[in-house]
Structure 1
Amino acid sequence: MTPGTTDRPQMSIEEFEQLARTAPETVTLEFINGKLEVKPVPDGINGAIVVWLLKQCMQHRPELVLHPEQGLKIEAYRGGRARPDGSLAPEDHFVPQGEWADPEGVLMTVEVTSRDRDANRRDRVEKPEGYATAGIPVYLLVDRDECTLVVHSEPQRGTYCNRKVWAYGEAVELPDPVGFTLKTGKLKDYAS
C-alpha cells in the first residue's frame, strides 16, 4: 500500500490543518483521498469564470451567495478537507464555522479546472466522489479543457447518480435545490 491512501493517509487531519494554517499565501492546500494536494493558484480566466458564475447566482438566487474558496470538511470522504472554487449557500452560512466548515447546508460546489497535470484526477474523479459522499446536492464542474459544464446531482453512497454535460453556450439546467438555468454564452470568451 502506498502512502496517502485511504488505509494509510500521509498525515492526520490535525497535522494537515496545522500545515494549511502555516502555508504561504501563494499556496492553497487540500487533503483529498488521504493525500496532501497543492491546489494551483487560480489564473485570470479561472477568476473571471468564478465571478461570472457568482453574478449568475446572485441574479437567480439573491438569498444565496457563491462563497469562493471556503474550506469544507469532507469527513465522510476519508477524513478530507477541500477548498472548492465556490460553495453556494445562504449568505451568513459560514460565519460561525471558521476555516474548515461542515458541508451541511451547502447546495452546490463549483470547481473550474486549472491547467495542471492533476486536474483530471482531482476535479473529475476525486472531488465528485468527495462532494457526493458529503451529501452536497449539486457539483458543477466548469471544464476549461473540454469547454463544457458538467452537472453532477443526486448524491447516493459516495457517487452522483446523475451527470449531464453541456457545451459552452448552451442553457445549463441546475437541478433543485439550486433550481435555475445558467446562460453560458459568456464562457465562449474564455475558451482558449
Structure 2
Amino acid sequence: MIKNKRNTYIRLDENGRFVSCSEKFKGTFEYNKACNIVQALPKQLKKMGFYVEAIPDIPEPKPKVQPKVIENTGYEPSDNVTRWVGKIGAAREILQEAIDREPELTKELSTVDKERSDILHEIEFTESFHMYIAWKWCKRLWINARKRRDIKNEMDIVEDIIESFDKRGISKAGVQANINKCKRRKYRYRIVEVADEEGNEVDGNATE
C-alpha cells in the first residue's frame, strides 16, 4: 500500500488516475508496482511524502476448539423433584377457584349496594316515622353495611391470590419439561485441551 505520515493513502479512481484517499478506501498493489506508482505520482501528490509500506501477512485463524462435553445418561430425578408436578394440580385449583369467585363477588356487591339504595329511598319518601321504624331502618342499614364489608374483604383476598401467582401462570407441562431437562443435562468442560504441533495435549487456557 502507498501512504504518508498523515495516514493519507493512494487509490486508483474510476478514471484510472491515482488520487489520495482515507484508509478506508486505500488501494493495494504489488510491491514493485507500488514503487513505480510512487515515482510516477504528480508533483502535487509527491509533495505529500508518499512511500510504499508492505501489508503484513494476516495469520490464518486457529480452528475453534470445542470443549469436551459429558452427557447424563443414567440419571433419574428423585421424588423431591418430581413431586412438584403433583402439587401443581392443587395450586391450579386454588387459582381457578379464586378466578371463578371474583365475578360472583362483584355481582354480590352490586346487589348489596342496590339494597342499601332501596333502604335510603324508603327513608327519603316516608312522611313520618316513630322510634321503632327508625330502629328497623337503622338495623337494616347496619346489616347491609356488614354484608358489604364482608364481600369487599373477600374480594381483597381473592384479588391478592390471583395477583400472587406468576403472570405466566402455573403450567404442569412447563414443570414437567424442566424435570425432563434434568434427565438430559450436560456438562461442558471449563478448561479446553488442545494439541500442540507435536500432538501433545496442552491447556488451552494457559498463557505464555
- TM-score, normalising length: structure 2: 0.15
Q: Higher relative CO (CA 8 A, sep ≥ 6), structure 1 or 2?
A: 2
Point out the structure with the larger helix share: 2
Question: Which of the pair is proportionally richer in strand?
Answer: 1
Query: TM-score normalized by structure 1?
Result: 0.15
